[in-house]
Amino acid sequence: MKAVRAGAAIHHAERNEENESARPFQIWLHPRTPGGTPRWTTRICLREGREGRFVTLASGDPDDVCASALSIRADARARIGTLRQGTTVHHVLPGSGVRFARQLNQAGNLHFRSRLIPVQGQSHYDRLID
């Protein structure tokens, strides 16, 4: 996981210089306030650490950052979990306001107690969690 803080502007490029293939997934968030000092940080999240549960990878909440999440300047959390077939996980999103979840799965189906909402200007749907 990598968290990038652009500051006032961004010039962006990605490349994989490792010997292993990568499956990039990017989320761009608006910061609470514009500007700031550019920086980037990384964190490794091994599959074993997220088996059967969700782990917060990046967050704008100081309590999450104290618990090892990457710091982001947005009112958001990025979480990841690995769920095996037949697994049920009850996960309540804290707080109020608009909440989105994106499911990425290699096989099978995931079911959320949620309702689908269209994402402005895009043809896919994100899930608004009830």
Question: Which pLDDT does position 117 carry in this prediction?
Answer: 47
pTM (2 decimals)? 0.68
Which band of pLDDT confidence, cut at 50, 70 and 90, is reported for residue 107?
A: low
pLDDT tens digits along 61-93: 999 999 989 999 988 888 888 877 777 777 666
Question: Which pLDDT does position 125 carry in this prediction?
Answer: 45
Question: Which pLDDT does position 32 carry in this prediction?
Answer: 87
**Start-end of H helices in the chain:** 62-66
- The pairs formed by 66-71 with CB atoms below 8 angstroms and a separation of 24 or more are 68/43, 69/43, 70/1, 70/2, 70/3, 70/41, 70/42, 70/43, 71/3, 71/41
